């Protein structure tokens, strides 16, 4: 009930503005949190929802140099408000992306694949043969981690919650390039010793759950390894056994894509080269979009409801 569909007047096109016709925009957990007011960013109200998506440039202001009509663009930062059919945005808030990649890949590029890319690159120097462990491995970020790691020869141990259709999920993650898919229960079992006969202990753990899942994951981290927390789906704190700190000297870090992008605002080179690398992977077929359900904007209520159901394995994408 916090959301409704409205017709708005289009802003005038200024010299440094870009008129964009939106094509597609996903619904991510952070978008819902922002609407609920539980996220670290609060928008000035009334606000347009959606932090991610892809649009096509219709017209540009006289001073605009980075894009031209016909180009595809995605948000360079959080809070753009992508759940709309068209808008006028300042040039600096947009990033050009190649239009030869599938539209749903472009629409889901700026949050999850970027988060996965940065976490694999920025905390530990991983080499081919090294391994990474992650929970909520079937999330958008989790699926991107599996594929980006696979393309770099890094092996993944993927933790998921037990569920009725577990074999189907395991099969899907394996087909993306996962090396091992295990349930949270298995994480606690002595059988894990057997797993580490064929794969080195991970140097990096990626956590978006919190609570017990995290404590169990930490047990398997290598000496001096790093655990990066980027979400807290269990809404429970990260608990670390004292022994892990003292005897394993593990590092606990946090990552927030929005902050990373803010830090890059003065110099978009890192952002642009990351987008380029990700588009390369997409073209080679090494990075695909998560399972998506396309929903027309008029049916946004259905899409919002579906995106809040537990065990959702399909991302809701608004087609604009």
192 and 183 in contact (C-beta within 8 Å)?
no
Alpha helices in 177-287 (DSSP H): 184-187, 192-198, 212-218, 242-248, 257-264, 269-283
Distance CA 144, CA 274 (A): 14
**What is 49-91 written as a DSSP string?**
--S--EEEEEEE-TT--S--TT-EEEESSS-----SSEEEEEG
Distance in angstroms (rounded) separating the CA atoms of residues 275 and 118: 11
| Annotation says 117 is catalytic | no
Token digits of residue 207: 């956590």
DSSP 160: E
Asked if 169 contacts 314 with a C-beta cutoff of 8 angstroms, the reply is no
Q: Give the burial class of 61: count Cβ atoms within 10 A of its Cβ; 0-12 exposed, 13-18 middle, 19 or more buried.
A: middle
Query: Minimal CA–CA distance to 83: which of 39, 44, 53, 43?
Result: 53
* Phi, psi (rounded to 5 degrees) for 225: -75, 175
Q: Find out whether 157 and 108 touch, Cβ atoms under 8 Å.
A: no
Among 39, 117, 230, 300, which one carries the catalytic annotation? 39
DSSP H helical ranges for the chain: 29-36, 103-107, 112-122, 140-151, 166-176, 184-187, 192-198, 212-218, 242-248, 257-264, 269-283, 300-307
- Cβ(226)–Cβ(202) below 8 Å: no
| Exposure string over 247-271, b if 16+ CB within 10 A, otherwise e | ebebebeebebbebbeebeeeeeeb
Query: Catalytic amino acids?
Result: 39
């Amino acid at each position: 009930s916090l959301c409704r569909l409205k017709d708005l007047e289009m802003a005038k096109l200024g010299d440094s503005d870009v008129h964009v016709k939106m094509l597609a925009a996903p619904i991510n957990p952070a978008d819902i949190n922002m609407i609920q007011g539980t996220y670290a960013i609060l928008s000035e109200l009334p606000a347009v929802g959606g932090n991610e998506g892809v649009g096509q440039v219709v017209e540009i202001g006289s001073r605009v140099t980075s894009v031209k009509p016909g180009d595809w663009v995605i948000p360079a930062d959080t809070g753009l408000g992508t759940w709309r059919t068209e808008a006028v945005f300042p040039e600096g808030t947009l990033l050009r992306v190649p239009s030869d990649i599938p539209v749903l890949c472009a629409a889901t590029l700026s949050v999850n694949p970027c988060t996965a890319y940065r976490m694999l690159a920025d905390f530990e120097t991983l080499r081919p043969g090294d391994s990474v462990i992650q929970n909520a491995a079937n999330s958008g970020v989790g699926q991107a981690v599996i594929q980006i790691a696979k393309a770099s020869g890094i092996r993944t141990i993927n933790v998921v919650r037990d569920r009725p259709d577990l074999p189907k999920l395991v099969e899907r993650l394996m087909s993306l390039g996962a090396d091992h898919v295990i349930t949270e229960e298995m994480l606690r079992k002595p059988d894990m010793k057997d797993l580490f006969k064929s794969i080195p202990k991970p140097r990096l753990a990626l956590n978006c759950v919190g609570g017990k899942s995290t404590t169990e994951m930490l047990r398997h981290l290598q000496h001096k390894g790093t655990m990066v927390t980027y979400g807290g789906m269990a809404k429970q704190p990260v608990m670390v056994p004292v022994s892990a700190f003292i005897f394993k000297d593990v590092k606990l870090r946090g990552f927030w894509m929005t902050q990373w992008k803010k830090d890059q605002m003065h110099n978009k080179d890192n952002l642009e080269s990351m987008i380029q690398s990700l588009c390369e992977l997409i073209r080679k077929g090494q990075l695909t979009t998560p399972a998506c359900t396309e929903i027309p904007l008029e049916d946004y209520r259905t899409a919002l409801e579906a995106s809040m159901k537990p065990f959702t394995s399909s991302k809701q994408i608004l087609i604009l």
